[in-house]
Amino acid sequence: MIKPKASVLKMSPYHPPIEGRAKYMRLDFNENLMGPTKKLENFKIDREFFSIYPEYGDFKKKLAIYYAQKEETLLPTNGADEGIKIVVDTYVDKGDEVILIEPTFPMFCVYAEIAGAKIKRVSYEKDFSFPIEKVLKLISKKTRLIVFANPNNPTGTLVEKRDVERILKQAKNTIVLVDEAYGKFSKQTCRDLIKTHDNLIVATSFSKVFGLAGLRLGVLFSQKKNIEYLSSVRSPYSVNSLAVKIGMIALDDPTYVDRYVQEVIQERKRLAEFFTRKKIYCHEGFANFILIKPDHSDKLYEFLKEKGILIRKVALKGYVRITIGRKDQMDTLIRCLEKFYE
């Protein structure tokens, strides 16, 4: 048996529990439970379409308009996951320092480990606020990449834009990657900072607000020269034609996305208020989920699973994460929770 390189042998693989979920109410993976735009209900495509390599020109034009960016400052990717990997592959060599703020999206660490990076870890504060001063103190001449999700998963933490700017200014010779997969729910973005900071890269995803998790579609934003570097690393046809076609349809229906975001924010608040009334610690955050620390979290997990509802255990002892769904789904969840806490 030929062994892989040393950095792969040292790492712990990420194994998301993704099988057999279709029969459940899926409040575990932060998917859009309203589904994508209804404009796809009568979607049809010619058979010949699948025999042609993808073209990205029209899609990039729509992305530029939707996100208020220039075409040369964006790069479509095969999900935000590929975007993150491309950034690491482009800028991080073996032994380079990478700063991670944990707990967070596991793939940040996976890709850094594969690259053989030296990872410096910072923990979110006990109240899940962003440890800005600790991050600033860790930045050194050897720091090659700083990466964080904004809002963060699983804590829902929002990093204020002024703190992002502090990091960018102190780490002028360091790439700062901000993953805004959940950015729409917080109504904040750092994309406008790209114009004045050549060390900033912003990633986003069509998996959450657009409801297209199954198509694997994402976008990187940065200054033109950085996008050129990233483009040279990305596989030329990594984003498939069907994802591009459906992504363009989704971009044509922004009001659908806005309605979904507004419903999530309303239902997130309602669910947080429920747990507060029950005197259960709840961190509402700024994404499409909440984080709770109930007594007997394992029992709650199993009870809800028996009722046909999936929630997510996270890398924080005693905590579980609950995705916010439609109003009717949250009604069902709350009824089940009432029974559990009788």
Determine the Cα–Cα distance for residues 111 and 213; give it in Å rounded to an integer.
20
Same domain, 22 and 123: no
Same domain, 293 and 214: no
Same domain, 183 and 224: yes
Determine the Cα–Cα distance for residues 211 and 220; give it in Å rounded to an integer.
18
Same domain, 316 and 182: no
Q: Is residue 1, in this structure, part of any structural domain at all?
A: no
Is this model's pTM higher than 0.75 or not?
yes
Q: What own/partner pairs with CB < 8 Å and gap ≥ 24 does 335-338 have? A: 336/303, 336/304, 336/307, 336/309, 337/274, 337/278
Residue range 75-103: mean pLDDT, rounded: 97
Q: What own/partner pairs with CB < 8 Å and gap ≥ 24 does 240-244 have? A: 240/54, 240/78, 240/215, 241/49, 241/50, 241/52, 241/53, 241/54, 241/55, 242/45, 242/50, 242/215, 243/78, 243/206, 243/212, 243/215, 243/216, 243/217, 244/54, 244/55, 244/56, 244/59, 244/76, 244/217
Same domain, 287 and 149: no
Q: How confident is the model at residue 6 (pLDDT cuts 50, 70, 90)?
A: confident
Determine the Cα–Cα distance for residues 86 and 70; give it in Å rounded to an integer.
20
Q: Is residue 223, in this structure, part of any structural domain at all?
A: yes
The amino acid present at 300, given as its one-letter code, is L
Same domain, 169 and 197: yes
- For the record, the structure tokens of 223 come out as 């200054």
Phi, psi of 31 (to 5 degrees): -75, 160
Mean pLDDT of the chain: 95
Q: What own/partner pairs with CB < 8 Å and gap ≥ 24 does 102-106 have? A: 102/315, 103/154, 103/155, 103/314, 103/315, 103/316, 104/148, 104/149, 104/152, 104/153, 105/149, 105/153, 105/179, 106/14
Q: Is the pLDDT of residue 27 over 70?
A: yes
Query: In a 3-state reduction of DSSP, which class is residue 51?
Result: helix
Domain's final residue, options 190, 223, 251 = 251
Same domain, 24 and 162: no
- The predicted pLDDT at position 190 comes to 97
* Structure confidence by residue, pLDDT tens digits, 183-219: 999 999 999 999 999 999 999 999 999 999 999 999 9
Q: Is residue 10, in this structure, part of any structural domain at all?
A: yes
Determine the Cα–Cα distance for residues 151 and 257; give it in Å rounded to an integer.
18
Share of the chain above pLDDT 70, in %: 98
Same domain, 266 and 212: no
- The predicted pLDDT at position 67 comes to 97
Same domain, 47 and 138: yes
Q: Is residue 273, in this structure, part of any structural domain at all?
A: yes
Q: How confident is the model at residue 17 (pLDDT cuts 50, 70, 90)?
A: low
Same domain, 145 and 188: yes
Domain enclosing residue 164, as ranges: 41-251
In angstroms, what CA-CA distances link 141 with 75, 97, 145, 174? 28, 9, 11, 8
Same domain, 76 and 182: yes
- The predicted pLDDT at position 21 comes to 85
Domain's final residue, options 226, 251, 276 = 251
Domain's final residue, options 221, 251, 281 = 251
- The predicted pLDDT at position 315 comes to 86
Residue range 272-284: mean pLDDT, rounded: 96
Q: How confident is the model at residue 16 (pLDDT cuts 50, 70, 90)?
A: low
Same domain, 60 and 76: yes
CA dihedral 128→132→134→137, nearest 10 degrees, is 170
Q: Is the pLDDT of residue 11 over 90?
A: no
The number of CA neighbours under 13 Å toward the Cβ of 280 is 23
Find the CATH number of the domain harbouring 321: 3.90.1150.10
Q: Which of 14, 36, 29, 66 is nearest to 206 (CA)?
A: 36
Find the CATH number of the domain harbouring 179: 3.40.640.10
- The predicted pLDDT at position 209 comes to 96
- The predicted pLDDT at position 320 comes to 97
Q: Which of 252, 201, 205 is nearest to 61 (CA)?
A: 252
223 or 295, higher pLDDT? 223
* Structure confidence by residue, pLDDT tens digits, 132-166: 999 999 999 999 999 999 999 999 999 999 999 99
Number of domains in the chain: 2
Q: Is residue 280, in this structure, part of any structural domain at all?
A: yes
